[in-house]
Amino acid sequence: MDASDADDEAAVALAAAVLADVAAFVSDIFAAAADAAAAFSDAAAAVADAPASPALEAACVSDVFAAVSDAPAR
């Protein structure tokens, strides 16, 4: 193996590492979105089950925004 082959292998390894990092980042984004969707779904179910009260509905909506805001950033 000469220096050119070693350089080629290093370039391929670097590209593979970058691709793996990008894939992990995208996976984390989808996981965070799924967590936020689950929090929203839970809050929406709580609103649907709650008695009709404007104050209670406002509190539930506030809880939804808080849950989405507090979702872990990945």
What's the whole-model pTM score? 0.50
Res 55: pLDDT: 76
Res 42: pLDDT: 87
Domain that holds residue 36: 3-69
Question: What is the Cα gyration radius of the chain?
Answer: 23
Total structural domains within the chain: 1
- How confident is the model over 7-58, as pLDDT tens digits? 788 889 999 999 999 999 999 999 999 988 998 888 888 877 767 677 777 7
DSSP state string for 30-44: HHHHHHHHHHHHHHH
Res 23: pLDDT: 95
Domain assignment present for residue 46? The answer is yes
Domain assignment present for residue 74? The answer is no
Res 58: pLDDT: 79
Domain assignment present for residue 64? The answer is yes
